[in-house]
């Protein structure tokens, strides 16, 4: 659902078969106001890959060609493609796949985004930006080039500027987990600063999220439950942020684990640093009221990208 403040709005779709993609795009074209549609070739989850979707599509050239042809013929907006380096870290294939997509010559492919990790890596180890550069340089000079956007481990404005300094990928870069952990990251990039945002300012962001959630799902009990569930999932990312004023070395690195039992500069900041699910529930109660006595929460996304 597009918010009035969103100047650019797109949707990502994932499926295992060309006809499924085409039918979804027919609905998008008829019913939705979007600026782009992204094809998901990056999801590493078994539940997706076992159905022929997500990262498994990188291994199926013919099927992917049929998908790209179908969606570009159906949509009037640009199509982007998000992929990983390949299935296995030791056998990257994105450079070959991007060259094939370029050779297919379908009008409407607006960009390819490369996450610098393989499917089997998921989110472990550092993103391989040197390989992203290889992918960018793999396209033929004799054909129209597809804009290449890199993705992985951007957690500060200095990370962003370092990544786009390369001549091959200097258009822009994609934010992912960094923006989930630090939703103010785009502001840092725009203003070129490390923002020591206060705990109260961060709580205001959660209040805004809650307001939008209740507007979307409703303020009845079901709406509150849905809003709380998504808020708690988000808090499973937010706690990983270490305030700038508490860092020994700035900026924080994406793959560095926050210290255990870290104390903040206020009670609220300490609570926000906690990796205990029950403390996330307490934060949710500050904006959504108390939970039932038998309420339990287990995060869907568990951090495994630390060293």
Q: What is the pTM of this model?
A: 0.90
Q: Which fold has domain 10-174?
A: TIM Barrel (3.20.20)
Six token digits for residue 48: 């997706």
Distance from C-alpha of 138 to C-alpha of 148, rounded to nearest angstrom:
11
What element of type H or E holds 80?
strand 79-84
Distance from C-alpha of 70 to C-alpha of 104, rounded to nearest angstrom:
13
Six token digits for residue 184: 């103010």
pLDDT score for 305: 44
Give the Cα-Cα-Cα angle 74, 77, 82 (nearest 5 degrees). 90
Distance from C-alpha of 16 to C-alpha of 23, rounded to nearest angstrom:
12
Catalytic residue positions?
Answer: 43
pLDDT score for 166: 79
Q: Average pLDDT across each block of 10 residues of the chain; the chain has 307 residues. List them in order.
A: 89 98 98 97 96 98 98 98 97 98 97 97 93 95 95 97 83 93 98 98 98 96 96 96 94 84 94 94 97 87 52
Q: What's the order of all strands across the beta sheet hosting 148-151?
A: 10-13, 36-41, 79-84, 109-115, 148-151, 173-174
Pair 83, 58: CB distance under 8 Å: yes
Distance from C-alpha of 146 to C-alpha of 151, rounded to nearest angstrom:
16
Domain residue extents for the chain: 10-174, 199-288
pLDDT score for 171: 74
What's the Cα-to-Cα distance from 37 to each of 56, 76, 148, rounded to whole Å? 19, 10, 16
Token pair 């255990």 is at which residue?
260
């Amino acid at each position: 659902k597009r918010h009035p403040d969103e100047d650019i709005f797109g949707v990502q779709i994932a499926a295992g078969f060309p006809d499924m993609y085409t039918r979804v795009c027919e609905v998008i074209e008829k019913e939705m106001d979007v600026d782009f549609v992204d094809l998901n070739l990056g999801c590493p989850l078994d539940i997706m890959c076992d159905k022929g979707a997500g990262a498994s599509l990188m291994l199926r050239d013919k099927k992917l060609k049929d998908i790209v042809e179908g969606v570009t013929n159906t949509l009037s907006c640009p199509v982007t493609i998000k992929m990983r380096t390949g299935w296995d870290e030791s056998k990257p294939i994105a450079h070959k796949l991007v060259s094939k997509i370029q050779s297919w010559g379908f009008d409407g492919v607006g960009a390819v985004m490369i996450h610098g990790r393989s499917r089997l890596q998921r989110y472990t180890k550092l993103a391989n930006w040197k390989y992203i550069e290889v992918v960018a340089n793999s396209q033929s000079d004799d054909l129209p080039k597809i804009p290449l956007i890199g993705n992985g481990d951007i957690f500060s404005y200095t990370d962003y500027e370092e990544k786009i300094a390369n001549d091959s990928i200097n258009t822009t870069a994609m934010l992912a987990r960094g923006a989930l952990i630090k939703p103010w990251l785009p502001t840092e990039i725009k203003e070129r600063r490390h923002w020591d945002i206060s705990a109260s300012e961060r709580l205001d962001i959660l209040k805004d999220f809650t307001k939008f959630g209740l507007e979307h799902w409703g303020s009845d009990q079901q709406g509150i439950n849905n809003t709380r569930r998504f808020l708690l999932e988000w808090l499973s990312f937010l706690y990983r942020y270490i305030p700038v004023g508490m860092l020994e070395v700035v900026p924080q690195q994406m793959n560095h684990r926050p210290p255990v039992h870290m104390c903040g500069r206020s009670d609220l900041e300490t609570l926000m640093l906690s990796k205990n699910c029950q403390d996330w529930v307490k934060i949710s109660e500050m904006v959504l009221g108390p939970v039932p006595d038998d309420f339990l929460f287990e995060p869907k996304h568990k951090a495994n990208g630390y060293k």
